[in-house]
């Protein structure tokens, strides 16, 4: 039985004119709609050569943070390494934008001319609105490193930050005596940092009755202020441990360097940057919890490739396992 355009339209849940536009490559159809039409035509066995969905290729844009942010530099390197293994139809653009300024991130999302966006940013209303605006016209968005679940993003790719915070609490509880613990983060506007802090608090409650959290320092991009506040906390009484959930390692190291080395607290931090690796080797930091940017880049690109129908791989899990590093395994 001959397959009619109306059969395909019914199967795809679109109008006859949309099917005609897709099959005859007239344009003006959202990518997800065009894919539904082509899938329906294949399933019904339409006897004709079907057009390629993305004849002119696909462009994905990664909105990275500041160039001087060590984590963002590692993420950029990860995407650069992995893109060569992807389909030749995919072109990857990498754009640096100050992730601490939601208005700039939101503008970059809106101004993107690519088919899809991968973004690292805060859970801020301007970013939420920008994601909603571009997804409403069929442009998928993946949040990377720190999630924005209140926005209609396609997926979040990254580690479970709550569990990472609990892991930090576990190590501190095993490596310190009773005493005071100071927490630091970059900004609680990043869901990643908020979830790490929440996980750490719950972990301390579960793993140790001997440690007391006495301060939470939120750097908000001001390393000098974070260093000053940490120095102040260290002089107000003996500190057994420090959990750095996302502030500058350099600021923490400078603050600790003012102390007698014998009294230095146990430090647990995040992200195996060159600076963090050196701090591990020098004994300044005891444990680093790394979020594996290479695997984040791979998963994000694979999920988008599957979303656009150019990959037949099984559905990719968006959650990346974090890894634990000490002096002896770097």
pLDDT above 90 (res 150): yes
Task: State the DSSP code for 265.
Answer: P
pLDDT above 60 (res 55): no
pLDDT above 90 (res 90): no
64 vs 43, more confident: 64
The radius of gyration of the chain from alpha carbons, rounded to an integer in Å, stands at 24
**Residue 46, C-beta contacts closer than 8 angstroms, at least 6 positions apart:** 3, 8
pLDDT for position 323: 98
pLDDT for position 188: 96
Structural domains of the chain, with CATH: 5-44 (no CATH), 58-158+293-320 (3.40.50.2300), 161-290 (3.40.50.2300)
208 vs 50, more confident: 208
237 vs 204, more confident: 204
pLDDT for position 2: 81
Q: Which residues of 114-130 are buried (b: 16+ CB within 10 A; e: fewer)?
A: bbbbbbbbbbbebbbeb
pLDDT-derived band at 187, boundaries 50, 70, 90: very high
pLDDT above 80 (res 311): no
| Cα angle for residues 55, 60, 61 (degrees, 5° grid) | 150
Whole-angstrom CA distances from 177 to 173, 238, 252 are: 8, 11, 21
Residue-wise pLDDT for 204-228, tens only, equals: 999 988 899 999 999 998 999 999 9
pLDDT for position 242: 96
Range of weakest confidence among 66-70, 147-151, 163-167: 66-70
pLDDT above 70 (res 274): yes
Share of the chain above pLDDT 70, in %: 94
Range among 22-26, 261-265, 297-301 rated most confident: 297-301
């Amino acid at each position: 039985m001959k397959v009619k355009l109306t059969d395909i339209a019914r199967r795809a849940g679109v109008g006859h004119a949309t099917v005609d536009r897709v099959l005859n490559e007239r344009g003006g159809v959202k990518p997800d709609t065009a894919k539904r039409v082509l899938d329906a035509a294949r399933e019904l066995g339409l006897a004709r050569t079907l057009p390629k969905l993305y004849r002119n290729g696909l462009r994905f844009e990664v909105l990275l943070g500041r160039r001087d942010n060590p984590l963002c530099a590692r993420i950029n390197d990860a995407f650069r390494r992995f893109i060569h293994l992807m389909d030749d139809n995919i072109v990857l653009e990498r754009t640096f934008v100050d992730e601490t300024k939601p208005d700039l991130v939101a503008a970059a999302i809106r101004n993107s001319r690519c088919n899809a966006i991968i973004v690292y940013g805060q859970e801020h209303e301007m970013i939420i609105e920008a994601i909603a605006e571009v997804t409403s016209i069929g442009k998928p968005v993946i949040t990377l490193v720190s999630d924005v679940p209140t926005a209609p993003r396609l997926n979040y790719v990254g580690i479970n930050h709550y569990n990472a915070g609990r892991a930090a609490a576990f190590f501190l509880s095993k490596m310190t005596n009773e005493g005071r613990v100071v927490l630091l983060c970059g900004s609680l506007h990043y869901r990643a940092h908020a979830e790490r802090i929440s996980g750490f608090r719950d972990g301390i409650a579960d793993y140790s009755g001997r440690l007391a959290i006495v301060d939470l320092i939120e750097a908000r991009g001001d390393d000098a202020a974070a260093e000053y506040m940490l120095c102040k906390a260290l002089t107000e009484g003996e500190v057994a441990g420090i959990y750095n959930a996302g502030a500058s390692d350099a600021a923490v190291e400078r603050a600790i360097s003012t102390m007698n080395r014998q009294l230095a607290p146990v430090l647990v931090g995040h992200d195996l940057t060159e600076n963090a690796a050196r701090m591990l080797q020098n004994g300044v930091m005891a444990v680093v919890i790394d979020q594996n940017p290479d695997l984040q880049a791979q998963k994000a690109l694979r999920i988008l490739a599957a979303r656009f129908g150019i990959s037949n791989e099984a559905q990719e899990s968006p959650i990346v396992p974090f890894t634990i590093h000490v002096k002896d395994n770097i």
